[in-house]
């Protein structure tokens, strides 16, 4: 169960959150993998506090070059240096607002695997694309681009997140059946591209208006391995409810 804080929380707020989360999340050790994707400014603090707890500290983005004249960017070695073990890549907000292409997303995913960061690669369609019957054309294209860029990575080194854009921050969740349909097809495609072992080892999350009230039916779907949560991850209490639902 992954918290994506997006552009929220000061260092002090992050410390308070982690101090409340860590003792309680210990109850789920070995049963649910928990990750917190924090802004760069509090990532080192989140990683420091998470050390030894099993909670994965992750970034929300990075650039695929390791160093150089790339003003405003942060590299994979820099993330590892502050204790991050994972990064979200190609979130729809980055694709839509910051013009990230499938090619850039694929390069980032490849660099993450090479550097030893767990990539959590987001895919998903807009409302217009869904209404026009083009959900799978969009999503399968995004998945193909990532998988082609991954080189020899095994399935266990990769996490994908299906986040329909129309369900992000809108309160409109994909129905559990829609989530299963898309995620089941993504897993099938992984099997075609990289074989059954890769497909079954890769974890595929659902994201988009997950809340304590809808998590159980989403997690009950056969191919849904977990959730990538924005709004409902900002309060420790509701995030812990989601972690608990992932165990049940
Ligand atoms: P919400 O849970 O706020 O809809 O955000 C989902 C998301 O974008 C997680 O990455």
pLDDT of residue 29: 86
Question: Residue range 145-149: average pLDDT?
Answer: 92
Higher pLDDT, 150 or 159: 159
- What is the band of 173 on the pLDDT scale with cuts at 50, 70, 90? confident
Ligand 1 pocket check for 75: Cβ under 6 Å: no
Model pLDDT for residues 230-243, shown as the tens digit of each residue: 999 999 999 999 99
pLDDT of residue 174: 87
Please choose, from the candidates 51, 55, 49, 112, the residue with its C-alpha nearest in 3D space to the C-alpha of residue 79: 112
Secondary structure letter of residue 166 according to DSSP = G
233 CA closest ligand 1 atom index: 2
* Residues 111, 246: Cα–Cα separation, whole Å: 30
Q: Is 8 a catalytic residue?
A: no
Of 45, 91, 93, 129, which one is the catalytic site residue? 91
pLDDT of residue 72: 97
Ligand 1 pocket check for 229: Cβ under 6 Å: yes
Residue 67 CA to ligand 1 center (angstroms) comes to 30
Of 100, 125, 163, 235, which one is the catalytic site residue? 163
Residue 6 has pLDDT above 90, yes or no: yes
Percentage of the chain exceeding pLDDT 70: 100
- What is the band of 41 on the pLDDT scale with cuts at 50, 70, 90? very high
Residue 12 has pLDDT above 90, yes or no: yes
* Cβ count near 155 (within 10 Å): 20
Model pLDDT for residues 178-212, shown as the tens digit of each residue: 999 999 999 999 999 999 999 999 999 999 999 99
92 CA closest ligand 1 atom index: 8
Residue 171 has pLDDT above 90, yes or no: no
Question: Residue range 32-55: average pLDDT?
Answer: 97
Ligand 1 pocket check for 208: Cβ under 6 Å: yes
Residue 36 CA to ligand 1 center (angstroms) comes to 13
Residue 124 has pLDDT above 90, yes or no: yes
Cβ-Cβ contacts under 8 Å for 80 (sequence gap 6 or more): 115, 116, 117
232 CA closest ligand 1 atom index: 2
Residue 152 has pLDDT above 90, yes or no: no
Percentage of the chain exceeding pLDDT 90: 92
Residue 4 CA to ligand 1 center (angstroms) comes to 7
Residue 65 has pLDDT above 90, yes or no: yes
Question: Residue range 120-140: average pLDDT?
Answer: 96
Residue 154 has pLDDT above 90, yes or no: yes
pLDDT of residue 170: 86
């Amino acid at each position: 169960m992954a918290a994506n804080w997006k552009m929220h929380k000061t260092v002090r707020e992050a410390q308070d959150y982690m101090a409340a989360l860590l003792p309680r999340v210990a109850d789920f050790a070995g049963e649910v993998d928990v990750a917190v994707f924090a802004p760069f400014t509090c990532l080192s603090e989140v990683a420091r506090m998470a050390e030894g707890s099993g909670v994965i500290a992750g970034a929300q983005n990075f650039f695929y070059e390791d160093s150089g004249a790339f003003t405003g960017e942060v590299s994979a070695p820099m993330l590892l240096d502050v204790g991050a073990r994972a990064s979200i890549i190609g979130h729809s907000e980055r694709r839509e607002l910051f013009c990230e292409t499938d090619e850039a997303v694929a390069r980032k995913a490849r660099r993450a695997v090479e550097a030893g960061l767990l990539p959590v690669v987001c895919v998903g369609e807009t409302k217009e694309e869904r209404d026009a019957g083009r959900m799978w054309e969009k999503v399968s294209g995004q998945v193909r681009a990532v998988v082609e860029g991954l080189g020899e990575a095994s399935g266990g080194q990769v996490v994908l997140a299906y986040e329909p854009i129309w369900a992000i921050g809108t309160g409109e969740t994909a129905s559990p059946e829609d989530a299963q349909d898309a995620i089941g097809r993504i897993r099938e495609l992984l099997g075609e591209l990289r074989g059954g072992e890769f497909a079954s080892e890769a974890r595929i999350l659902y994201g988009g208006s997950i809340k304590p009230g809808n998590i159980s039916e989403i997690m009950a779907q056969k191919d849904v391995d977990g959730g990538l949560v924005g709004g409902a991850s900002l309060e420790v209490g509701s995030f812990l409810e989601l972690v608990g639902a992932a165990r049940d």
